Structure 1
Amino acid sequence: MSHLSRRSVLALALLGGVAAAAGGCGADAASGASDAAWTLRIGTIGSRNRLTGPVGWLHAQNKLLPLLAAAHVEKIEVYTFPNGPDLNQALVGGKLDLASYGDTPALVARGAGQPTRLIAESLVGNDAGIVTVPGGVSSLRDLNDKVIATQTGSYIHRYLLGALADLGVKPRRIVHVYSTDTEAALAKRSVDAAAVPANYAYAFQAKGYPLLELASKARPRYLGTSATVVTETTRRRHAPLIRAWQQAQTEATRQAKAGWPDYLAFNVDLGPFGADIVRRSVLREQLPDTPFTDAGLTLLKGTKDFLVGQKLVAKDFSVDDWIAPEARQP
């Protein structure tokens, strides 16, 4: 378990931004639109090299690739990462063409100069919660001088920072722990509380770890969104991908809502959560019918402004300018 301070997060983001800028300069000279068939390399968060969300559901049914034919995609490769900062490093290294992950790491990377362009938000209203150890604190206000675990650099981290700032609470430290490892940290009482995604919060609550609050109930302005981005190199070489991906996401969302029980079953199969927790944490209203919505962009801009204020984004920027021109809705 390691502590990652705000200064450390910022330094890593800046370092990644420099590397990305250097890589982008090299790609400029070699770039050029191509009609040749190519392999789309997608990065996402998870552990099984599987796409999630409605697009992942289509991919599991072998229905995604045909929807990308207009972009000449002949093969899809999926790479999963434990959290957003790790995925950002793959983007920096030119190992991915497209990534779909949480808003916070995507915003931090863009603010550090990483040459990505936003093309969609596939989820709006990602929930999170804060749990504590049995017999521990009874409210967030009691977390002064306590140790709190979370996945630093994630949308959950952003929610935690916002909640603590709202209450003027100053923990002893915030430590980086993957959500998959959080239960062990709580069981050993090496941490006093943890901020985790809503599905983990429900699972921990069922095991006797008190749930202090959910973002959706207490602080909806800190709900997360997803960010689907492409690299500038991919945008220049394969511009038709952007519209094709947006159309695929829209169709995937339509099919998911029409076949909701089957979509929930797909999410159960992704594991490790049972049907009850999936029903509580995978919500129809989280799936936008269009690539961008007013609600989604409002949350995204609010997150960006918060991260700038916390000095977790190195340089302020316009979310509207971040959106790829090809991705703008008519």
Structure 2
Amino acid sequence: MENRNVKKHKRKRYAILLTLVAAALAFSQGCGTKDQITEASSSGVPKTLNYGYIGTNALNVPGGAEGWGFHKGIIQEELKKHGIETVNLTAFPNGPDLSESLISGRLDFGSLGDTPAILSRSTGAKTKVITQGSTDSIGYLVAKKGGPASLEELKGKTVATQKGSFHHRYLAGLLKKEGLAEDVKVIHLLRVDAEAALARGEIDAMTNTGVYTLKQIDEGYTLLDDATKHPELYGTSVTVVSEDYLAKYPDFAKAWNEARSKALEDLKQHEEEYYAFLAELQSTKVEYVKKVSPIELIKEVPFTEEGLQLLEGTKAFLIEEKLAETDFALDDWLIKP
């Protein structure tokens, strides 16, 4: 009798256990439906995105709408909607270094000057341009104190530039236009190294960009030329993405440009805060960044007719001067909305 009661009790416990298991499965399947929907919405999209930009600073972000978006977390939140959970940012001293990391696969995409991006593409790099964020990058040519006072006086002198960058394209175009291409020695130095060499008198002139040039002028250096006198020598900035990443996420261009647009919209509502942010990035005065990086120069759309003409002109120049290895069709390189 006691044995039968034990067996009956065991059967009852087993039945209760089965009921609890069934209930747990039903609950987990119900929760799983939401997870499956979320996963399906980001199917094939890598959860981590690796982005490169030019310039080093304590905040580890670039300038422009992109930098503001990362700084405020706007871009990260927008990309999360597409399944991208983490964005890693990496700074580079110049465009050629960024291009190498993109080619090697350490980066998925990056923002850089048009010249290094074109040079990279001309060597067969599998990249696509998804945004041309600015079309007013101005190159400056600064001489040492007591040095050349005019372009003509550069004959027989040494000028430093960042070879492979938009600085290089500006300088090469300027020297050709002035008939000085064969009379000036051009060497490669990064900005910080060139500024130090110029201060020591080891070089006669260097190319530079806006805020750093304004600082040099304040310190007594001579401004020999700038691209505002030669608009065809303006540089542009482009955001390029590897074709390998696009194979994993074909709609990335649309997602990125929508996130960037949200960041730009917010930036325009906080102009003074943005200028202060930009000054902090470049360790300079707010008045300087307002002069050389006004908000109205940031492009609201991925591409403009003016920007594409500059891009085509730069590519043609680099091919003509044999700085680029091979020609390619610009339309094949761009992903237009």
TM-score normalised by the chain length of structure 1: 0.85
- 1:194 corresponds to 2:203: no
Kindly indicate whether structure 1 or structure 2 has the higher relative contact order, using CA contacts under 8 Å at least 6 residues apart.
1
Deviation, structure 1 residue 70: 4.2
Report which of the two structures shows the higher radius of gyration computed on alpha carbons. Answer: 2
8 Å contact 1:128–1:201 — kept in the other structure?
no
Partner of 1:215: 227
Q: Distance in 1 between matches of 2:268 and 2:43?
A: 35
Which residues of structure 2 form unaligned runs of 5+? 1-41
- Letter of the aligned partner of 2:147 in structure 1? G
Deviation, structure 1 residue 213: 1.6
Partner of 1:64: 75
Q: SS in structure 2 opposite 1:71?
A: coil
1:306–1:203 CA distance, 2 compared to 1 (3 A): same
Deviation, structure 1 residue 287: 0.7
Q: Distance in 1 between matches of 2:88 and 2:130?
A: 19
8 Å contact 2:74–2:259 — kept in the other structure?
no
Selected match of 2:85 from 59, 71, 74: 74
How is 1:245-284 mapped onto 2 (pairs within 5 angstroms)? 245-284=256-295
Deviation, structure 1 residue 148: 0.0
1:98–1:36 CA distance, 2 compared to 1 (3 A): closer
Runs of 4+ in 1 over 3 A off after TM superposition: 33-37
Partner of 1:241: 252
- Letter of the aligned partner of 1:41 in structure 2? N
Partner of 2:196: 184
8 Å contact 1:131–1:211 — kept in the other structure?
yes
Q: Percent identity?
A: 36
Q: Distance in 2 between matches of 1:168 and 1:311?
A: 18
User: Over residues 86-105 of structure 1, what are the superposed CA-to-partner deviations in whole Å (9 max), with x where a residue is unaligned?
Assistant: 11111121100011011100
1:34–1:237 CA distance, 2 compared to 1 (3 A): farther
CA RMSD of aligned residues (A): 1.5
Q: SS in structure 2 opposite 1:41?
A: strand
Q: SS in structure 1 opposite 2:187?
A: strand
Q: SS in structure 2 opposite 1:225?
A: strand
- Letter of the aligned partner of 2:277 in structure 1? F
Q: Distance in 2 between matches of 1:309 and 1:251?
A: 39
- Letter of the aligned partner of 1:208 in structure 2? G
- 1:39 corresponds to 2:12: no
TM-score normalised by the chain length of structure 2: 0.84
How is 1:308-319 mapped onto 2 (pairs within 5 angstroms)? 308-319=319-330
User: Over residues 187-215 of structure 1, what are the superposed CA-to-partner deviations in whole Å (9 max), with x where a residue is unaligned?
Assistant: 11111111111222111111100111221
Partner of 1:123: 134
Matched residues, number: 293
- 1:206 corresponds to 2:218: yes
Deviation, structure 1 residue 34: 4.3
- Letter of the aligned partner of 1:263 in structure 2? Y
Selected match of 2:306 from 285, 295, 316: 295
- 1:110 corresponds to 2:160: no
Q: Distance in 2 between matches of 1:318 and 1:260?
A: 38
Q: Distance in 1 between matches of 2:268 and 2:134?
A: 13
Q: Distance in 1 between matches of 2:329 and 2:152?
A: 34
8 Å contact 1:198–1:214 — kept in the other structure?
no
Partner of 1:100: 111
- 1:165 corresponds to 2:176: yes
Which residues of structure 1 form unaligned runs of 5+? 1-32
Q: SS in structure 1 opposite 2:168?
A: helix
Q: Distance in 2 between matches of 1:88 and 1:58?
A: 23
Q: Distance in 1 between matches of 2:319 and 2:266?
A: 37
Q: Distance in 1 between matches of 2:46 and 2:315?
A: 36
User: Over residues 211-262 of structure 1, what are the superposed CA-to-partner deviations in whole Å (9 max), with x where a residue is unaligned?
Assistant: 112211x111111100101000001101222101111222222322332211
Q: Distance in 2 between matches of 1:130 and 1:274?
A: 21
Deviation, structure 1 residue 129: 0.6
Q: Distance in 1 between matches of 2:305 and 2:269?
A: 23
User: Over residues 86-135 of structure 1, what are the superposed CA-to-partner deviations in whole Å (9 max), with x where a residue is unaligned?
Assistant: 11111121100011011100000001100001100111111121010122
User: Over residues 135-159 of structure 1, what are the superposed CA-to-partner deviations in whole Å (9 max), with x where a residue is unaligned?
Assistant: 2111112212210011111101100
8 Å contact 1:47–1:80 — kept in the other structure?
yes
